[in-house]
Amino acid sequence: MAELLIELGCEELPAASCVPMAQALADGLHAALVAASLVEESARPATYSTPRRLAVLWSEVGEQQPDAIVERRGPAVKAAWQDGQVGGTPSKALAGFLSSAGASVDQLITIETPKGAWVAVNLVQPGRSLDQVLTDAFTDTLDTLPMPRRMRWGGEAHEFLRPVVWLLALHGSRVVELEALGLTAGRDTHGHRVHSPGPHAVGTASDYPDVLRTARVLADVAERRACIVDAVAKAALAAGGSPVTDDELVDEVTSLVEWPVALAGRFEERFLGIPKEALIQTMQENQRYFALLDKSGELMPGFVTVANLESADSAVVIDGNERVIRPRFDDTMFFWKQDAHVALSDRLPDLSRVLFEETLGSVGDKVARMQRLCAVIAPVVGADTAAAKQAASLAKCDLGSEIVKELAKMQGIAGRYYALRDGVAADVAAAVEEHYWPKKAGAALPRNPVATTVALADRLDTLVGIFGIGRKPTGAKDPFALRRAAIAVIRIAVEGQLSLDLDALIQETAKVYAGAGVTLASLDTQDISRFVQERLRVHLVSEEQLPADVVDAVLAKPIALDPFDVCRRARAIARFGEEAAAVSLSAAGKRIDNLLAKSAAGESANDRVDLSVLKEDAERDLHAAIESLKPSVASAMQAGDYAAAMREVAGLAVPVDRFFDDVMVMAEEPAVRANRLALLRDLSELANGVADLSRLAPR
């Protein structure tokens, strides 16, 4: 056993491809080595990637597969011998089998199968060497690496994302016999293209990280990322600020450099007249710079860039970066000033020329529907209806602005600035930006009722419209981001503690489409509700960390699709599930379901419990307990205090257990049987008011 290292060197890879390709390389080769019994499944390799290399390093890998005993089946016994007697003269079929297997008659065994007896031999299959296993696995793995496109270079027939330059493969200190993409493996790697290009010989696989570090390459992605974050923070502090360290930007920069060096630069203060979001976006997306904020959180006229080398004269590098950013800011300043000549509301007619969806009409049509929906949603959310409709009318107007055409992520943000510039109320202006929130998983939600109203109207219009034209998500395809829209609605309701009857709102949205003259030929509102409910289940289990059986128990109830209400019920049941009473009532619930199912199939229950027919003390006690708890449980349910309702229900555990121990429900007398079934029906309605307790798994 020894360490195994494989490194593929190439020309600069796109930043977004480095880490995924390295991980895919590790996964593919690891699976092949595990299948060959050369490494343990749990012994996952370390992965390394830079713009110029993909590498994988295992700590312990075997040199040779163990020999394996392989059973090879021959002809049926009755066809193996000429005289039909085992051990007689071999038939032609048996002789051919022995010849092909390289075996003799004395190695034959008889095996029994469902189809009768067959002859077979046990053969020793020699294990393959590590080199042989890798030769097969490496090419197959390279063919399946995720990459946007493949290219050829020179006169080679090989294809890869970028031209490959070198191949390193070591098992311990031994060079593995491996060829791929026209390269033969050796022990040489290459260092930093400027500081220490190499080649550099790697003595043993374990030396790899240190050899590269000496050659000015930090091959470990996590180490390089941490180095960048630390260096940027120090450079920002020296410049008197703190960096805007967006995770996506840090990840991208990490995959753009091999030896990161942070340098601080400045730009003219006149550019601070542009919205800071536009400046930050320009710095991040166009130049991969880290913007700087002062102690009050305001943008500073400075930035930090991460160079891929240590320059003898860093001032020259800084000056070059400062000169590059100026024309980009000049363009942004021009667009900002151009947009100032048109009021945001005056851009509304332009939306009729922006297509939302061919059947559903323009963005202008969508805005008109959103306004009508706001009139329905605003009273539920507690927003001013007029303000919500105004916000909806302005929400998409910045799509025609010059700054959004140049910087797409300014959509909504630019609209907020323009609305405030035009004297629009602060909550309406905020809604222009925040109706797009949350923009991604875990991101902030709209912060005021007006913004919440417009955000819900936007998502509901999209959900109902796209489902209505038969374009619902299938598999991984979700071009209109309907899953994200549903999750956004759910988060707004649950985290905002808003009680929303989404079934009713979906129906209202369908009416708005009908009123606008849009035909939704494939509309099935129940299908939309099921889609949202599926997303709700996933959200409650994965994000709210509620047990799956608890969520299923709540969703099994025929209640309104109200995410906040469902969440409150599930939380109450999760707490109740930890109590001893939950075990008794869950088991009782399953028995009651079975008994009532029989009742529905022919055993009729009384409409109400007849006290005069209650014979046993246990059934009288259960009836008394049910009747005594009904008012308090009903009061708690009406108040939405599901935890209190379940505390009351827990008091039924003892009389329920006694009832099932002492009472025969399906008694011979029809009147007694019908009365006891009615009692169980009352019990089920009371105990299962919050959730179907029979769905709870044993704890």
**Res 257: pLDDT:** 96
- Model confidence over 29-88: pLDDT tens digits? 999 999 888 999 999 999 999 999 999 999 998 888 877 777 888 888 777 777 766 677
pLDDT band at 442 (very low <50, low <70, confident <90, very high): confident
Cα(570)–Cα(556) distance, integer angstroms? 11
**Res 109: pLDDT:** 82
Cα(576)–Cα(557) distance, integer angstroms? 17
**Res 95: pLDDT:** 83
Grouping H, G, I as helix, E, B as strand and the rest as coil, residue 556 is coil
- Model confidence over 538-564: pLDDT tens digits? 999 999 999 999 999 999 999 999 999
With a cut of 80, say whether residue 412 has pLDDT above it.
yes
Q: What are phi and psi of 432, to 5 degrees?
A: -60, -40
**Res 699: pLDDT:** 66
> How far, in Å, are 94, 113, 119, 126, 684 from residue 73 at the CA level?
11, 11, 6, 18, 60
SS3 content of the chain, % helix, strand, coil (to 5): 55, 15, 30
User: Is the bond into 199 cis (omega within 30 degrees of 0)?
Assistant: yes
**Res 579: pLDDT:** 79
**First-to-final CA distance of the chain:** 44
pLDDT band at 696 (very low <50, low <70, confident <90, very high): confident
Cα(449)–Cα(674) distance, integer angstroms? 53
With a cut of 70, say whether residue 599 has pLDDT above it.
no
- Length of the chain in residues, anyone? 699
Return the DSSP state at 346.
Answer: G
Helix axes 221-238 and 247-254, enclosed angle (nearest 10): 120
Tell me how crowded residue 326 is: count the other CB atoms within 10 A of its CB: 12
108's enclosing H/E stretch is: strand 108-113
* Bridge partner list, 303: 265, 291
Instruction: Tell me the two tokens of residue 232.
Output: 């940027």
Average pLDDT of the segment spanning 14-18? 94
Q: Taking a C-beta distance cutoff of 8 angstroms, is the pair 60, 70 a contact?
A: no
Tell me how crowded residue 627 is: count the other CB atoms within 10 A of its CB: 13
Tell me how crowded residue 242 is: count the other CB atoms within 10 A of its CB: 18
Q: Which of 279, 230, 232, 287 is nearest to 256 (CA)?
A: 287
Maximum CA pair distance of the chain? 106
Average pLDDT of the segment spanning 232-246? 94
Q: Taking a C-beta distance cutoff of 8 angstroms, is the pair 403, 336 a contact?
A: yes
Of the candidate ranges 163-177, 328-342, 402-416, 647-661, the one whose mean pLDDT is the lowest: 647-661
With a cut of 90, say whether residue 581 has pLDDT above it.
no
Cα(533)–Cα(355) distance, integer angstroms? 30
> How far, in Å, are 259, 433, 525, 620, 623 from residue 613 at the CA level?
87, 67, 47, 10, 12
User: What contacts 287, CB < 8 A, 6 or more positions away?
Assistant: 303, 305, 321, 324, 325, 328
Q: Taking a C-beta distance cutoff of 8 angstroms, is the pair 214, 204 a contact?
A: no
For residues 285 and 156, the model is more confident at 285
Average pLDDT of the segment spanning 659-684? 85
With a cut of 70, say whether residue 571 has pLDDT above it.
yes
Grouping H, G, I as helix, E, B as strand and the rest as coil, residue 182 is coil
Amino acid sitting at position 693 = L
Grouping H, G, I as helix, E, B as strand and the rest as coil, residue 438 is coil
With a cut of 60, say whether residue 447 has pLDDT above it.
yes
With a cut of 80, say whether residue 600 has pLDDT above it.
no
**Res 57: pLDDT:** 96
With a cut of 70, say whether residue 601 has pLDDT above it.
no
Instruction: Tell me the two tokens of residue 410.
Output: 């300014």
> What is the average pLDDT score of the chain?
91
- Model confidence over 44-59: pLDDT tens digits? 999 999 999 999 999 9
**Res 84: pLDDT:** 62
CA dihedral 683, 686, 688, 694 (to 10 degrees): -20
0.85 cut: is pTM over it?
A: no
With a cut of 60, say whether residue 272 has pLDDT above it.
yes
Average pLDDT of the segment spanning 288-298? 94
